[in-house]
Amino acid sequence: MRLLPLAVTVLLTLSVAYYVYTPIPDGIQEPWKLMLVDAALRTAMRLAVLKHWLGFDHYIKSFRRYTQGFEGSVNSYLTSDSSGGVIPGVKVSDVTFAGIPVRVYEPPAGGEGHLRRGLVYFHGGGWALGSAKKGSYDVTNRMVSDELNMVVVSVEYRLYPEVHFPVPYLDCLTAAKHFLSPEILAKYAVDPERVAVSGDSAGGNLAAAVAQEISTDDSMSVKFSVQALIYPALQALDINTPSFLQNQNLAILSRPFMLQFWLQYLNADLSLEPQLLVNNHSALRHSTLTPELRSRVDWTTLLPEKHKKNHKPLIVENGSPEILKEVPGLLDVRAAPLLASPEVLAKLPRAYIITCEHDVLRDDGLMYARRLQDAGVMVTNDHYEDGFHGCFSLVMWPLDFDVGKRVLRGYISWLQKNL
Ligand SMILES: *[C@@H]1O[C@H](CO)[C@@H](O)[C@H](O)[C@H]1NC(C)=O
């Protein structure tokens, strides 16, 4: 009867492999590690949805706790809050800027009259997940502060489901304006000529939108000198760009998942998802969607040839005209910074845009890079052929990916040279 345990073991192993397995494109290194991360996220999401369904808690809140608990236990020994952890020189304080909670990282003071660089950072997580204080963001911001002699302000903006657009954007804008005021910059010994705004994913969306608002606000005497956007989400009018289609079922951020984040952020009904997946919201019949606006997200003209491949634009004739009225955020530049006019773009600071080949948001970033260049803004676009969405946050053992570490090194070295 030795066969039974063997059979059970084989069956269990096969079921685990089947559960964990998800197709990963050839270009991505360490595919099994990515499958494991994705399986952990899927499991957390299933548990969260179950708890939601049983009436315990909103699924986003449970999912947030699970992912933070996981990341937190992995990284806690690296950062150990009170003792200062791996980077003892950096002072960390949790304060509020005009009522908005922020975590400030200060490198050691460099003596009388010595000014440091500054950076305002917005973390990613679909406007619903993540925290300035937890996980990889805390670690990378300490590192950035230390290596670049930089005062980093990481903003703890409010998230969905507690709030939705425009609250997260306004929280970020309020905190950014407060930091840019001459008194606060002086208090932190920050050079007003060397302040950056940055963020990843949904945080890249917020960074782009805040940069646009501040660049065009004549009442602001200090403005950002550079913007560094890491695989930003910049529009939801076309959910059928080549990158949305190419990566639609990819680990970490699938196309339906990204669309769900958008609908939640814009306070729209999730039942609209099937309509948006077929671009019914941006049909030709819409008077509110002018040819001018359409051209600002037209990947057929804005993308380099090599990324268009054999894709054809999905433009429907009739669609559902009411969606743009029901969900005004879809046409609001504060939610979709890619829709800004060339006149606004021309006022923006130099840009660093990181894009990843294996990412539904790749084309958002590539189109923005092109539109900024066309408006006369200096742009560096670092495109990672083996990059995938979220890799910037996967840099610490055991959740570390080589490409994530390269993206982080590239980010730090660009800021070193350009700020
Ligand atoms: C998209 O719009 C068309 C025209 O109104 C409609 O027939 C179709 O059912 C819509 N598609 C979806 C998925 O709702």
Give pLDDT, residue 72. Answer: 58
Residue 324 belongs to some domain of the structure: yes
Mutational test site, ligand 1, from 278, 281, 282, 324, max ligand atoms within 8 Å of CB = 278
> Does the C-beta of 318 come closer than 6 Å to ligand 1?
yes
CA atoms within 13 A on the CB side of 301: 7
Block residue for tokens 């963001």: 137
89 Cα to the center of ligand 1, angstroms: 58
Atom 3 (ligand 1): residue with closest C-alpha? 319
Number of domains in the chain: 1
Please state the rounded mean pLDDT for residues 239-256: 96
Please state the rounded mean pLDDT for residues 397-417: 95
Q: Who wins on pLDDT, 41 or 367?
A: 367
Residue in 384, 361, 379 with CA at minimum distance from that of residue 226: 379
8 Å CB contact between 327 and 266: yes
> Does the C-beta of 285 come closer than 6 Å to ligand 1?
no
Catalytic option among 359, 363, 364, 386: 359
> Does the C-beta of 279 come closer than 6 Å to ligand 1?
no
328 Cα to the center of ligand 1, angstroms: 20
Q: Which atom of ligand 1 is nearest to the CA of 283?
A: 2
- How many angstroms separate the first and last alpha carbons of the chain? 70
C-alpha of 352 from chain center: 14
Residue 390 belongs to some domain of the structure: yes
Block residue for tokens 């449970």: 62
Residue 50 belongs to some domain of the structure: no
52 is catalytic: no
Give pLDDT, residue 83. Answer: 41
> Does the C-beta of 380 come closer than 6 Å to ligand 1?
no
* Residue 345 binned pLDDT confidence (cut-offs 50, 70, 90): very high
Residue 27 belongs to some domain of the structure: no
Q: Who wins on pLDDT, 176 or 65?
A: 176
Return the CATH number at 343: 3.40.50.1820
Please state the rounded mean pLDDT for residues 231-236: 98
Give pLDDT, residue 140. Answer: 95
Residue 219 belongs to some domain of the structure: yes
> Does the C-beta of 355 come closer than 6 Å to ligand 1?
no
Block residue for tokens 């963020």: 199
Cis omega (within 30 of 0) on the bond before 398?
Answer: yes
Block residue for tokens 């006022």: 347
C-alpha of 86 from chain center: 26
Write the single-letter amino acid at 99: G
Domain range for residue 190? Answer: 87-419
Percent of the chain at pLDDT > 70 equals 95
Least confident of 20-24, 211-215, 293-297, 409-413: 20-24
Compute the distance between CA of residue 389 and CA of residue 202 in angstroms, rounded to an integer.
11
Write the single-letter amino acid at 377: V
Per-residue pLDDT at 21 exceeds 90: no
Residue 74 belongs to some domain of the structure: no
Compute the distance between CA of residue 417 and CA of residue 148 in angstroms, rounded to an integer.
10
Give pLDDT, residue 69. Answer: 64
Which run of H or E residues covers position 209?
A: helix 202-215
Residue 52 belongs to some domain of the structure: no
Residue 61 belongs to some domain of the structure: no
Q: What is the average pLDDT score of the chain?
A: 92
Give pLDDT, residue 19. Answer: 84
Give pLDDT, residue 73. Answer: 56
∠101-200-263 over CA atoms, to 5°?
Answer: 85
316 Cα to the center of ligand 1, angstroms: 9
Per-residue pLDDT at 152 exceeds 50: yes
59 Cα to the center of ligand 1, angstroms: 29
CA 138, 262, 34, 359 torsion: positive or negative?
negative
Residue in 406, 390, 410, 402 with CA at minimum distance from that of residue 136: 390
